[in-house]
Amino acid sequence: MRLVSDKTVGRLSLYRRLLSGLRQSPAQGIYSHELASLSGTTSAQVRRDLMAVGCSGSPSHGYDVGQLIEAISGFLDGSESQGAALVGVGNLGRAIMTYFGGRRPNLSIVAAFDKDPYKVDRVIHGCRCHRLDELPRVAASQQIRIGIITVPAEEAQTVAELLVRSGIRAILNFAPLPIRVPDAIYVEDIDMTMSLEKVAYFARQRAAETAVRP
């Protein structure tokens, strides 16, 4: 399979969800401009992304919806299912566990970790909560390669290093500070504080712009 960019992978994830939600007959087609309109991109962008996963359409019928879903799934999911480890069973951590709870068979949170002894050994949303120092053992035994960090900022770096030592290859980081890991580890940051402050900035800016208009 060809090498694709970070952004393309993200758009493919969105395309799949949009296509799955269509609920039209399997044989029906969809044009690139239709998918572009749904996903908020351009039709050229859509065609390029779909080409990257080996999909081709026809000028008369566009792309086959069922075939697209299958191709994107084959590209994103691979052959075997993947489990993720979540570290930090606070309010946010529990919400994330619920959010991803039993969504997809190919990708789910299979183990949670916390340093708080009161949370250990409880089952939250069908997922066992372990002691933090059991991470290497559990990650190895369950072949976990994905880590999710939902601990406070000051603990994020320590947890990141523990995840890396436990054999994790990619991290979804919710802590509001960047973590430093080896280049071989993929990190995706979700910095909600940054996002809210950006929104606040542009809300003020747009409001000022409108106020100036005659």
Place of tokens 């946010």: 92
Tell me how far, at minimum, the Cβ of 204 lies from DNA, in Å: 19
> Strand 127-131 relative to strand 123-124: parallel, antiparallel, unpaired?
antiparallel
Whichever of 133 and 197 has its CB closer to its own copies, that residue is: 197
CB 204 within 8 Å of CB 177:
no
With residue 166 as reference, give the H or E element that holds it: none
Tell me how far, at minimum, the Cβ of 103 lies from its own copies, in Å: 8
SS3 212: helix
| Binding-site ranges for DNA (CB under 7 A) | 5, 7, 31-33, 41-45, 47-48, 50-51, 55-63
Residue 60 contacts its own copies per CB under 8 A:
no
Residue 188 contacts its own copies per CB under 8 A:
yes
* Partner from its own copies, DNA, none contacting 31, C-beta within 5 to 8 A by type: DNA
Write the DSSP assignment of 118-133 as a string of letters.
TTTT-EETTEEEEEGG
Q: Which of 32, 65, 94, 114 forms a contact with its own copies (CB under 8 A)?
A: 94
Residue 120: strand pairing partners: none
Q: Which of 148, 159, 160, 163 forms a contact with its own copies (CB under 8 A)?
A: 148
What b/e sequence results for 106-142 when a residue is b if at least 16 CB atoms lie within 10 Å of its CB, and e otherwise? ebbbbbbbbbeeebbeeebeebebbbbeebeebbeee
Tell me how far, at minimum, the Cβ of 189 lies from its own copies, in Å: 9
Binding site for its own copies (CB under 8 A): 6, 9-10, 13-14, 17-18, 21, 38-40, 76-78, 82, 84, 91-92, 94-96, 98-100, 103, 107, 145-146, 148, 153, 168-172, 176-178, 180, 184-186, 188, 190-204, 206-207, 210
